[in-house]
């Protein structure tokens, strides 16, 4: 007997181990099916094969467990019984003799399809199909419960095997006591109309959302009092199974000593004490309470719809919604208005959460604006429709009222389409010339075209003249003292200055004669006059490096003289330096125009200069940037005294002094970012002037 008990115990341990293995392998089905579509069919069939084996094992386990719980005779002895060849039909609740050791077989996949209650089973016969007729999964309806033929057969077989167990459970349920309560649903809330004002009261706050009631608050208060009085005399003790069947329930809150209507969420049975999580539909809060505080909700308390409505503040955008400190700070501000009366203006009612503007009473302050003023949110600027918004197209000279985007020119030459220039080489160069010392083709003197060899890669030999030269200002001699206006700081020792100009009386020109401007002020006024702005001509081709153009400054949308530094064809941006001020900017191609001839005469007013006697201490770009910022604070946009140390063709080296007579170089050296070096005035009076002739 002890030996058989030991064998039985070992087999039970094997059964438990196999069940754990089955559980682990079943979880791997999802991972196996998460593969490429090409491998899905093979893996799916393997999973179905394993599932069949698991079904047979589970059938044996159910068979053993059902017989363990049956009422067997005490006179039966668990011995090897070979006299019984088959299990005869039996009435319910009466079991025939059986051998327990034979039932608990070895933990290997069973091939038995017998049911303990003699239910008929059928094992489907598989038909061989051609590869093109094989269907992996075919749904006969949109419902996921409808599957293909092989799956239906497996499901039908399994249903036959477990049918007796379901019937047995239904009988046990039918024999039990009826449920002591009945569940009722709450009526739906009314829909609030947009752009309408409703009196409300804030009930609770949950993160960036909050819950309000727009109904009569006295009705809610009377309902809670009536529920609390009712459950004093009609308390029902529920078990966990009863609570799981609830949809709406009543839950007791110890802090407020009242029962509230709630929506059952879940039951936590991890610890010894059972805790129930309930959403209070009349306040918008989530309450975690003990199981004993939950009661069924009778029909007389279900006549009112939920009083709480979920809302969020419309017209504003919160800064960061995933920062816990920020959410806590936002909640602390909103919780100050709990149980306060207000007026809500519905802006969006397309979802369960209402977008509202909240006007607090009696102050009239909007809660939306209060969060913006405290820096917890920013206002959302609504985009108006094209019919309501007047599109700003920039200066009037850049807008062509007759331009139609659908009426675009078509080009056969890609060079002309990209650069706006048409290659004239084919018309000017003789295509019959193949080279040679005679510099002519077979036509001889009769050929009137150019005999030039074209570049093998097709480069054009044409040349188009553009404005590229602007005379520099006459610079003072070394050692001279003067007042300069610093218009732009480039580096810690590089900047641009404008030299003082003598005020001359402008003579009025005769009728029909246009004279070039003689001062910078007159030049800017002339370039931005209405007549000049409308007369600007667009560039015919991509601008060349160093070309002088009229460029629109984005900050004030005025035209100034500029020189092209670089250009990118991808985004059609052009980098220009304004020759009268020294600053650099990126402008669009539409903001660049041909420079009129009368605007070339005035020399460039911005003179590039170097600060004498300074040198960087380190090679760190961060220190250079700090030194440049300090130099800008000392001299930018200021008129200061300067002494010329040396001069070049179009630039100078200056020694600068502030209004108190202190050297700018020494003040920079005090910051430990640069160091002072020795320098001397370079006399160039004996230097010979050289003219470079192209």
**CATH classification at residue 234:** 2.30.30.140
**DSSP 8-state code for residue 507:** P
Show which of 379, 395, 411 is a domain's final residue: 379
Q: Are 213 and 308 contacting, i.e. CB atoms less than 8 angstroms apart?
A: yes
Domain shared by 229 and 372, yes or no: yes
Contact partners, residue 596, CB within 8 Å, separation at least 6: 532, 535, 536, 550
442 in Cβ contact with 431 (< 8 Å) = no
Q: Token digits for 673?
A: 């970012």
- 165 shares its domain with 214: no
CA separation for the pair 640, 628 (Å, rounded) = 17
Asked whether residue 369 is assigned to any structural domain, the reply reads yes
Count helices and strands in the chain by DSSP H and E runs: 14, 24
The pLDDT of residue 426 is 66
Buried/exposed 116-131: b ≥16 CB within 10 Å, e otherwise: bbeeeeeeeeeeeeee
Same domain assignment for residues 207 and 99: no
Instruction: For residue 234, tell me if it sits in a domain.
Output: yes
* Contact status, residue 612 vs residue 679, Cβ threshold 8 Å: yes
What local confidence, expressed as pLDDT, does residue 93 receive?
37
Conformation bin of residue 554: beta by default, left when phi > 0, alpha when psi is -120 to 50: alpha
Listed as ranges, residues in the chain with pLDDT below 70 are: 1, 30-31, 36-38, 65-181, 270-273, 320-322, 382-411, 413, 415-416, 418-426, 454-462, 502-514, 569-570, 689-694
Three-class SS state of 138: coil
pLDDT in the model for residue 78: 45
**In degrees, to the nearest 5, what angle opens at C-alpha 210 toward C-alphas 205 and 212?**
110
In a domain, 285, yes or no: yes
Whose tokens are 């503007």? That residue is: 357
Confirm if 576 and 562 have CB atoms less than 8 A apart. yes
CB 633 within 8 A of CB 569: no
Pair 169, 214 in one domain: no
pLDDT value of position 601: 85
Could you tell me if 642 and 497 are in contact, meaning their C-beta atoms sit under 8 angstroms apart?
A: yes
Q: Are residues 169 and 213 in the same domain?
A: no
The answer to whether the predicted template modeling score (pTM) of the entire model surpasses 0.75 is: no
Report how far residue 326's alpha carbon sits from residue 375's, in angstroms, rounded to the nearest whole number: 11
From CA 311, how far away is CA 367, in angstroms rounded?
13
- Domain contains 256: yes
Instruction: Supply the CATH number for residue 633's domain.
Output: 2.40.50.90
**Are 101 and 157 part of one and the same domain?**
yes
CA distance 579 to 595: 13
Among candidates 73, 69, 53, 75, which has minimal Cα distance to 103?
Answer: 69
Choose one of 338, 356, 379: the last residue of a domain: 379
The confidence score (pLDDT) of residue 607 equals 94
Given a contact cutoff of 8 angstroms between Cβ atoms, the answer to whether 136 and 44 are in contact is: yes
In a domain, 375, yes or no: yes
Same-domain check for residues 47 and 138: yes
Domain assignment of residue 87, given as a range: 2-173
The reply to whether 240 and 165 lie within a common domain is no
How many C-beta atoms lie closer than 10 Å to residue 364's C-beta?
Answer: 8
Q: Answer whether residue 435 is part of any domain.
A: no
Domain count, the chain: 3
Q: C-alpha angle with apex 612: 610 to 614, nearest 5 degrees?
A: 100
The domain boundary residue, chosen from 352, 379, 406: 379
Omega prior to 624 cis, within 30 of 0: no
Only one residue has tokens 């056969």, namely 412
- Per-position b or e across 646-676, b if 16+ CB within 10 A of its CB: bbeeebbbbbbbeeeeebbbeebbeeebbee
Distance CA 331, CA 207 (A): 6
Residue 497 CB burial class (10 angstroms; 0-12, 13-18, ≥19): buried
Q: Which two tokens mark 307?
A: 């009083």
Same domain, 111 and 223: no
What's the order of all strands across the beta sheet hosting 573-578? Answer: 584-588, 573-578, 558-568, 548-553, 592-594
On whether both 28 and 115 belong to a single domain, the answer is: yes
| Residues 235 and 130 reside in one and the same domain | no
CA distance 346 to 645: 73
| Structural tokens at position 632 | 């800008």
Contact between 380 and 315 (Cβ < 8 Å):
yes
pLDDT at 105 (0 to 100)? 41
Long-range contacts of 44-53 (CB under 8 A, 24+ apart): 44/136, 44/137, 48/150, 48/151, 48/154, 50/25, 51/154, 52/154, 53/109
H-type alpha helices, 584-655: 621-635
Indicate whether 277 belongs to any domain: yes
pLDDT at 420: 63
**Does 224 lie in the same domain as 154?**
no
Residue 575 within any structural domain of the chain: no
């Amino acid at each position: 007997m002890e030996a058989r008990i030991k064998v039985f115990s070992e087999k039970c341990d094997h059964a438990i181990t196999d069940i754990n293995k089955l559980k682990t392998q079943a979880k791997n089905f999802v991972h196996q099916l998460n593969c490429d579509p090409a491998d899905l069919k093979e893996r799916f069939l393997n999973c179905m094969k394993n599932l069949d084996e698991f079904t047979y094992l589970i059938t044996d386990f159910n068979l053993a467990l059902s017989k363990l719980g049956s009422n067997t005779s005490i006179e039966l002895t668990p011995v090897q019984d070979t006299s019984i060849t088959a299990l005869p039909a039996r009435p319910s609740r009466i079991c025939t003799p059986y051998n327990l050791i034979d039932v608990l077989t070895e933990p290997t996949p069973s091939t038995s399809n017998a049911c303990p209650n003699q239910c008929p089973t059928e094992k489907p016969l598989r038909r061989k199909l051609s590869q093109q007729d094989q269907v992996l999964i075919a749904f006969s309806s949109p419902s996921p419960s409808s599957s293909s033929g092989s799956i239906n057969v497996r499901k039908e077989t399994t249903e036959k095997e477990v049918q007796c167990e379901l019937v047995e459970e239904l009988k046990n349920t039918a024999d039990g006591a009826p449920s002591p309560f009945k569940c009722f649903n709450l009526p739906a809330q009314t829909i609030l109309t947009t752009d309408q004002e409703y009196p409300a009261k804030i009930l609770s706050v949950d993160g960036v959302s909050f819950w309000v009631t727009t109904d009569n608050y006295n009705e809610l208060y009377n309902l809670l009092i009536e529920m609390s009085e009712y459950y004093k005399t009609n308390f029902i003790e529920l078990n966990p199974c009863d609570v799981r069947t609830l949809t709406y329930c009543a839950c007791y809150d110890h802090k407020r000593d009242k029962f509230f209507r709630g929506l059952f969420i879940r039951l936590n049975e991890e610890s010894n004490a059972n805790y129930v999580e309930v959403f209070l539909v009349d306040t918008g809060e989530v309450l975690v309470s003990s199981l004993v505080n939950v009661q069924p909700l009778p029909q007389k308390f279900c006549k009112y719809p939920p009083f709480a409505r979920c809302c969020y503040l419309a017209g504003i955008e919160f800064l960061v919604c995933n920062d816990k400190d920020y959410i806590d700070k936002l909640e602390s501000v909103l919780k100050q208005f709990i149980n306060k009366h207000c007026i809500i203006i519905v802006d969006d009612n397309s979802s369960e959460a209402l977008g509202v503007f909240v006007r607090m009473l009696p102050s009239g302050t909007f809660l939306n604006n209060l969060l913006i003023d405290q820096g917890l949110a920013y206002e959302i600027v609504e985009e108006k429709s094209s019919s309501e918004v007047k599109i700003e197209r920039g200066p009037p000279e850049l807008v062509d009222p007759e331009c139609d985007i659908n009426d675009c020119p078509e080009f056969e030459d890609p060079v002309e389409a990209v650069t706006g220039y048409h290659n004239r080489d084919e018309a000017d160069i003789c295509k019959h010339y193949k080279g040679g010392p005679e510099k002519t083709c077979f036509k001889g003197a009769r050929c009137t075209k150019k005999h030039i060899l074209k570049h093998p890669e097709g480069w054009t030999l044409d040349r188009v003249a553009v404005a590229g030269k602007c005379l520099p200002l006459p610079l003072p001699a070394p050692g001279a003292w003067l007042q300069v206006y610093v218009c732009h700081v480039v580096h810690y020792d590089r900047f641009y200055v404008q030299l003082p100009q003598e005020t001359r009386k402008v003579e009025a020109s005769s009728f029909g004669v246009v004279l070039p401007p003689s001062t910078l002020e007159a030049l800017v006024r002339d370039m931005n006059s209405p007549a000049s702005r409308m007369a600007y001509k667009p560039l015919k081709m991509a601008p060349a490096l160093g070309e002088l153009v009229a460029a629109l400054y984005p900050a004030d949308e005025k035209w100034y003289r500029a020189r092209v530094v670089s250009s990118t064809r991808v985004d059609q941006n052009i980098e220009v330096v304004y020759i009268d001020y020294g600053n650099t900017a990126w402008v669009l191609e539409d903001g660049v125009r041909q420079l009129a001839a009368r605007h070339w005469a005035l020399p460039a007013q911005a003179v590039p200069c170097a600060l004498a006697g300074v040198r960087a201490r380190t090679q760190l770009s961060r220190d250079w940037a700090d030194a440049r910022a300090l130099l800008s604070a000392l001299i930018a946009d200021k008129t200061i005294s300067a002494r010329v140390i040396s001069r070049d063709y179009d630039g100078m080296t200056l020694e600068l002094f502030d209004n108190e007579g202190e050297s700018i170089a020494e003040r920079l050296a005090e910051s430990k970012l640069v160091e002072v070096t020795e320098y001397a005035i370079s006399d160039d009076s004996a230097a010979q002037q050289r003219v470079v002739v192209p």
